[in-house]
Amino acid sequence: QVQLAESGGGLVQPGGSLNLSCVASGRTAAIGTMGWDRQIPGKSREMVARITTDDRIAYANAVKGRFSVSVNDAGDTVTLQMGSLKSEDTAVYYCRGETYGGSVYWGQGTQVTVSS
């Protein structure tokens, strides 16, 4: 019903920047909230950022002030701009979409590695 595809992961040095993108397809009109979670090695998946169709935004404390989430005008692409990256940001980042009915969809994940 909804498919999410992430891109933009890769290797970046500490202090650097990287942008992730997620394109939604299928019944995208059903999505009320999009965002990003991440799974740091050895830890469980955690929320990173959320953005709603009415432009309410929330960030995890660990990334607040460094990351920025946005959606395009069509509402089918969510971007995570990551700056001042730290080694502890190394994780698999997953795009997340939640429908108005409460169904959650996940992308396949994209690896972000912050290392010198």
Strand partners, 19: 81
Half-sphere exposure of 110 (CA within 13 A, CB side): 20
Q: What share of the chain is helix, strand, coil (3-state, %, to 5)?
A: 5, 55, 40
How sure is the predictor about 74, in pLDDT bands with cuts at 50, 70 and 90? confident
> What is the reported pLDDT for 75?
84
Task: Examine the pLDDT at 91 and tell me if it is beyond 90.
Answer: yes
pLDDT digits (tens, 9 = 90+) for 34-51: 999 999 999 999 999 999
% of the chain beyond a pLDDT of 70: 100
The span from the CA of 20 to the CA of 13, in Å, is 16
